[in-house]
Structure 1
């Protein structure tokens, strides 16, 4: 009986060991294949997604023992919901991204994020090709290391239809806020929506506020909000919210902006029903595709207008800077393969192809773009971006509270319905105060 019991205990113990081994090597399949899960924003039918998928196919050909599970989401809300689920369950993908930089500390401390410094240093032909500023963005205060690999950059500016502008009697793009207000009135006079913006897609209202905030208070002020040196209820911050409401009150986005999404307003812009749209280089492919718009030669790009009384912030700009991040729990072959795929997706060869075939910019300094293969508007975006004296993505990127993305955007959108700037500011500040 004792012998039987001992055997039973040995079997149970062996099963527990196997289970523990399976938990630590969760991506190693029974048939010996290694599973690599991806959760990026590279989804949809764009050319850059096609290139991304081509690189993955190339990797799979090199490594038939790898299974790629790509769970990438193009829609921001769907992506955020999937990431939240993965974080809550502790089943993070191999390659993913977390929005913002100030809130990365908890993920660094728990080992969920891999420090990329050793990887960058051991392969200088790859690591030294990234622009210094782009890498520095993912060096988190109070922590040593680099916790993201930049995979997209570029100015988020104002794309405008020169033909529509001329029809409205606007000879050049407005450089200042006062000139912008004048242009808005002229576009309204010809029954054209001045700025294509759908507040139902909350990021659009958020991006508008970001642009105004950086031109009014500067990118350093966003960092002060994150460090709590500034409050959302402080006068200069409320003023930025008031400027958003001023535009809405003068029908700069049309009368029904609160109920429209980004796809509808983008279509309106492509069809010449709107004079301007605030967006990033990810939409350049739409602006240069004659099957999507007849205004391919007429759509231009400019920086968001600055405030005459704030000339020191003229070149404080919103730019897109998106990363690939790597699961810090990876080991062995799984880690080796994941790093190899990451390098293939962000190599100088990949960067050149992304730029020349899809107008998509990876921030590397070791590529020479054949200008005959890219559009003038893409080159103009690069030129304008190179003059930025201060760079930031969203204001909430510097806030340690993960909930601030939704809170800030939803409160800004509330001003498109019935809230005052003061009420919006108080709602955002309450989110911070309640978290203490």
Structure 2
């Protein structure tokens, strides 16, 4: 596979500052013939599903020759469907991407269009931290619509019931909080064991806190994950797992189902979950809105570790353009990326700003918590199951799930991931 750009960002790229210009897709993008755009996205619930439906209708009204077929698909179902379709050598005209190694593999397979020149007149409107996951070897293959970070969403009332006065800032404090919650008869953590990807957040963050961001970069480049820092990350995770902190039946729990991780958290049946900026929206959709009881704190530091609490792991969402997509597909992305329309999306509380100058649109109390933490960030790492080639990312998810289930040791996790990486 070709060399990939490293998706790790400096503090300067994280500044949410400046103002953006640029108009939407008022002009005809091509010759004016009838065009159909297939648009696959994962915003299959409120509040964003109706917002994007409205934008598509607006664009079609202004461009009578264009028809946009929208397919809102749940996250995991989307991944499965996209894999099936791309195996035939084709891709939708516009489709969800998280960037990184998965996008790089799609580029190498000839499935994605290089849109560097197509968006050159308005790509400067994007915040660098939001745009970089979709840039590979100096070229752009996608545009962002959301950015953010993974952190702890916690139930303030349940923390208070357990006598926890403030969010943990160190790993030892987190372990103590778990013990206090269990003593109070409260399930400490909600986890979607079946989904696997939520579990990899724990291992990744522990590796970042122990070895620092540089350890992730070095492992990706050397294809060697069998080092003391990554073994130690597994040992810390095992320390947590041994306390049995998760809800009953977590190994069979999905994320976005009525009995899954988000619903367990939203229904007040667990005190915290390690999840991304979308968490409050999914909690509300699958269960209840915790309102003022829902708080947020960054992943704690690990005593003696090299990583800082201001180094975040996460990412957002973006759109890639299929290799055979019409010019109107890029023009539609221009339309939804104007400050006005990007601001409409941010105002729902579902997204963080990716366009300069719309920070004032963040009015949702929970979205503001993420914005505040991003503003303090000194570095960021894309989710490993997207940053790395697909097979390696999947192995990290699988091995982390086995560690959490108690069927694989920390040492075996590091060795298995290394074996997979070196076979690529």
TM-score range, shorter chain: 0.7 to 0.9
Confirm or deny that 1:81 pairs with 2:72: no
Confirm or deny that 1:221 pairs with 2:212: no
> Match for residue 183 of structure 2?
189
Q: For the structure 1 residues 226 and 98, does the alpha-carbon distance in structure 2 shift closer, same or farther, using more than 3 Å as the test?
A: farther
> Match for residue 168 of structure 2?
174
> Match for residue 315 of structure 1?
310
> Match for residue 276 of structure 1?
272
**Residues 199-232 of structure 1: per-residue CA shift (max 9 Å, x gap):** 111111112222222222223322222212x522
Residue correspondence of structure 1 range 28-427 to structure 2 within 5 A: 33-43=34-44, 45-76=45-76, 78-109=77-108, 111-121=110-120, 123=121, 126-140=122-136, 143-228=137-222, 231-262=224-255, 263=257, 264-285=260-281, 292-293=287-288, 295-310=290-305, 312-330=307-325, 334-335=326-327, 337-370=328-361, 374-399=363-388, 401-417=389-405, 418-427=407-416
Tell which has more relative contact order, 1 or 2 (C-alpha 8 A, sep 6+).
2
Counting matched residue pairs gives 389
Contact 1:161 1:272 in 2 (8 A): yes
Unaligned runs of 5+ residues in structure 2 are 1-29
2 CA distance for matches of 1:325 and 1:104? 8
Q: How high is the TM-score relative to the length of structure 2?
A: 0.85
Computing the radius of gyration over CA atoms, which structure comes out larger, 1 or 2? 1
**Residues 342-399 of structure 1: per-residue CA shift (max 9 Å, x gap):** 112222112211111234124111224256xx22221121010111111112124332
1 CA distance for matches of 2:89 and 2:395? 24
Report the CA distance between 1:287 and its aligned residue.
5.8
CA RMSD in angstroms comes to: 2.3
Report the CA distance between 1:407 and its aligned residue.
1.6
Report the CA distance between 1:170 and its aligned residue.
0.3
> If each structure's helix is expressed as a fraction of its own residues, which one has the higher value?
1
Contact 2:147 2:316 in 1 (8 A): yes
Contact 2:90 2:111 in 1 (8 A): no
2 CA distance for matches of 1:413 and 1:146? 33
**Residues 254-291 of structure 1: per-residue CA shift (max 9 Å, x gap):** 453212222322222112221111112212335678x9
Q: For the structure 1 residues 402 and 235, does the alpha-carbon distance in structure 2 shift closer, same or farther, using more than 3 Å as the test?
A: same
2 CA distance for matches of 1:355 and 1:182? 36
Unaligned runs of 5+ residues in structure 1 are 1-27
Contact 2:102 2:387 in 1 (8 A): yes
Q: For the structure 1 residues 267 and 302, does the alpha-carbon distance in structure 2 shift closer, same or farther, using more than 3 Å as the test?
A: same
